[in-house]
Structure 1
Amino acid sequence: MNQPNDENESASPQPLSATARRCLGVLVEKAKTTPDGYPLSLAGLITGCNQKSNRSPQMQVDESDALSAIDELRSAGAAREVQGNGRVTKYRHAAYEWLGVDSPGAAIMTELMLRGPQTAGELRSRASRMHKFDDLETLKTELDALIEKGLVESLTPPGRGQTFAHCLYTPQERLYLVDKIQKQDAASTGSSPASSSETPKAKAANDDRIEKIQDRLDSVTAKLEALEKRLEFLES
């Protein structure tokens, strides 16, 4: 790899707000999956952030949110503004340089930014739309490299169902995320005190309600962070 990547490997990128991560993920995703429409206009970026497929949690990013996120990404060196056809301002990512990754690493990081923590099996299936991973071992080798760079971490112990997450969360988000994953693991293994008295059907319904509430909380948290960033920008 070239020298700039070597330099990036020695220092992990800074945490990003939820909206900035979503925007960066969308820029990388669209560059890989729909290159004819890339770089993205502001409207295209917003549409990509709010789409229903391949996103978790669902978000409602508006123009103000997106502009604030772009400012954050540009300040971090993770995105750039370019002039499109007809003098329309468009945006492109600088994820390879900023993260110090190549195509397979970028595909994994993008999936983690767009859909949150996942198992190696889920990542192989979902990230393959951006970069083909021949088998699970190939994916795991790339995961190990990202872990060494400080870009990815494991949230659960090794073994079946081991869950991985990117390291771009803010400290507050990470604490919440770890607690969420631990509760999900406890529920799935039946270690929750209420699980012994619940029928499988009732437990499934309860888990579904909890997941919806957690997704809603994630969405609200992302919105609040975007507003805070926008206020900081306006004040500056």
Structure 2
Amino acid sequence: MKHFPELQLTAVGARVLGCLLEKEVLTPDQYPMTVNALVTACNQATSRHPVTSFTASEVEEALRQLSDDYLVTRMLGGRAPKFEHNLGDLLALTSAERAVFTVLLLRGTQTAGELKQRTERMHDFASLDEVEEILTGFIEYPHGPLVERLPAGGGRRVETFRHLLSEDAGAEPEADFDAGADWRQEMEQRLAALEMQVAELKAQLGE
């Protein structure tokens, strides 16, 4: 089995893995996830960058590849197959580390400040220093770096960070991020929850 940093995921695979990690924490009653639920989660218009339109066949292929890399397991039983991640078998993460890693998978290149705010639903960081300490740990991971630090310059006003598990890891950060837009984050949370409920209803109807 390869060390985790040696694995190179596709853009779809990274998004699927991120969704499984996120939904296990935020909507545990809807985890493990069906293919239909994963398609909806991957293509959410909120809390994702870039916004995508992956098809069910693309998500299924990503799940197959993730399974080959021991990152995903298909659960037997039930009317529709469901999937869960095996990240803990390859990479031991604290809840704080997992929150940062999940948001990097879902939203690509970000500043430490953006990561602190965007991880609030999964882990409440007391300070920015805690986030930066985790990022440094990912950069200095013993078996090879999981994260890369991008210094300010070339259009970037401050240093940013991106994961190294796929070549297409969202090299361009999101534009016009407003760290004070608490109302927008609340609306994103509500919309994401509604999207998951709709996905599950569609899946049940399809079954």
Q: Identify whether the pair has TM-score above 0.5, normalized to the shorter chain.
A: yes
Q: How does 1:34-53 map to 2 (within 5 A)?
A: 34-53=27-46
Q: CA deviation at 1:156?
A: 1.5
Distance of aligned partners of 1:79 and 1:28 in 2 relative to their CA distance in 1, 3 Å threshold:
same
Aligned equivalent of 1:211: none
Aligned equivalent of 2:165: 168
- Which whole-Å CA distance do the structure 1 matches of 2:92 and 2:72 have between them? 14
Gapped regions of structure 2 (runs ≥ 5): 175-207
Contact 1:77 1:94 in 2 (8 A): yes
Q: 1:137 aligns with which of 113, 119, 129?
A: 129
Contact 1:12 1:99 in 2 (8 A): no
Counterpart amino acid of residue 166 in structure 1: H
- Which whole-Å CA distance do the structure 2 matches of 1:98 and 1:153 have between them? 20
Q: 2:73 aligns with which of 64, 72, 80?
A: 80
Q: 1:65 aligns with which of 32, 54, 58?
A: 58
Contact 2:125 2:131 in 1 (8 A): yes
Q: Summarize deviations over 1:58-109 as a string: whole Å, max 9, x none.
A: 111111101100011111111111125x342100011222333232222111
1:108 aligns with 2:100: yes
Q: CA deviation at 1:160?
A: 6.9
Q: 2:16 aligns with which of 23, 31, 46?
A: 23
Give the TM-score normalised by the residue count of structure 1: 0.65
Q: After the TM superposition, which parts of structure 1 deviate over 6 Å for at least 4 consecutive aligned residues?
A: none
Counterpart amino acid of residue 41 in structure 1: T
Question: Secondary structure in 2 aligned to 1:12?
Answer: helix
Q: CA deviation at 1:134?
A: 1.3
Larger of the two Rg values belongs to structure: 1
Give the TM-score normalised by the residue count of structure 2: 0.74
Question: Secondary structure in 2 aligned to 1:68?
Answer: helix
Q: How does 1:201-212 map to 2 (within 5 A)?
A: none
Q: 1:127 aligns with which of 109, 112, 119?
A: 119
Contact 2:5 2:165 in 1 (8 A): no
Aligned equivalent of 2:147: 152
How many matched pairs? 169
Counterpart amino acid of residue 110 in structure 2: Q
Aligned equivalent of 1:201: none
Gapped regions of structure 1 (runs ≥ 5): 1-6, 185-236
Aligned identity (percent) is 36
Distance of aligned partners of 1:97 and 1:104 in 2 relative to their CA distance in 1, 3 Å threshold:
farther
Aligned equivalent of 1:118: 110
Aligned equivalent of 1:223: none
- Which whole-Å CA distance do the structure 2 matches of 1:136 and 1:48 have between them? 28
Contact 1:41 1:90 in 2 (8 A): yes
Q: CA deviation at 1:50?
A: 0.8
- Which whole-Å CA distance do the structure 2 matches of 1:79 and 1:13 have between them? 17
Question: Secondary structure in 2 aligned to 1:66?
Answer: helix
Counterpart amino acid of residue 168 in structure 1: L
Counterpart amino acid of residue 137 in structure 1: D
Q: CA deviation at 1:12?
A: 1.9
1:54 aligns with 2:51: no
- Which whole-Å CA distance do the structure 2 matches of 1:147 and 1:100 have between them? 15
- Which whole-Å CA distance do the structure 2 matches of 1:143 and 1:57 have between them? 21
Contact 1:95 1:106 in 2 (8 A): no
